[in-house]
Amino acid sequence: MSNEVLRAVNLKSVGTYALCGIAMGLILALVPLSSLVSLIIIIVGLTMIAVNGYAVYKDFSNKKDTTNQTLLDVIGILLGFILLVVRNQVVTILIAIYLFIEPVVKIVLSKGNKNVVMKQIPTIALGVILLFGGFSVVELVFKIIGVILILASVAYFAYNYYLYKKNKVKIIK
């Protein structure tokens, strides 16, 4: 690396990126996947209720006929409540089915294009694993990704710190 590039890099930002990577890795490795998914589903459900609830309010405050849009907004509110009540089982199955069907449709529409098939195989595999293997397999994959993320973040920081020391470049504070 040239000295110009090294002078432009801020060691604080390198450290911040490394700490964020380590934190994300710890979350992925230590927090059970079911808890993460439940939290995300709760947030999505509450967001659906809030956004669609506001849309229903706006629909009723308008003097125009918005029956179709209001019906869709009410369905959105109901789906938000369903996500809050029934989290892991139904959502896991729906996500698995989506991860299987969506790439298959892309492959069919591409008429068997080899590039498209190769790009969609991992998504199909993830859908099948999630559908038949359930959360236990996905949780193991998340733990492995978390450990890899921690190691990569530490290596990133160590490498950048080594470059600073090796090239005797003044560290920007």
Q: Summarize pLDDT for 22-81 with one digit per residue, the tens.
A: 888 888 788 777 777 777 778 877 888 898 888 888 878 876 666 666 777 788 788 778
- Cβ-proximal residues to 99 (8 Å cutoff; 6+ apart), any chain: 123, 124, 126, 127, 130
Q: What is the band of 12 on the pLDDT scale with cuts at 50, 70, 90? A: confident
CB crowding 112-127: b at 16 or more within 10 Å, else e: eeeebeeebeebbebb
**pLDDT > 60? residue 4:** no
Q: Are 21 and 153 in contact (CB under 8 A)?
A: yes
Tokens of 42: 């709760």
Average pLDDT over residues 74-97: 74
| 34 half-sphere exposure, CB direction, 13 A CA radius | 9
Q: Regarding predicted confidence, which is higher, 5 or 104?
A: 104
Residue 66 is predicted with a pLDDT of 65
Q: How far apart are CA 33 and CA 173, in angstroms?
A: 38
Percent of the chain with pLDDT over 90: 0
- Hey, how many other C-beta atoms are within 10 angstroms of the C-beta on 76? 16
- Hey, how many other C-beta atoms are within 10 angstroms of the C-beta on 146? 19
pTM listed for this prediction = 0.48
Instruction: Quick: pLDDT tens for 130-149.
Output: 777 766 776 777 788 888 88
DSSP-derived secondary structure letter, 65: -
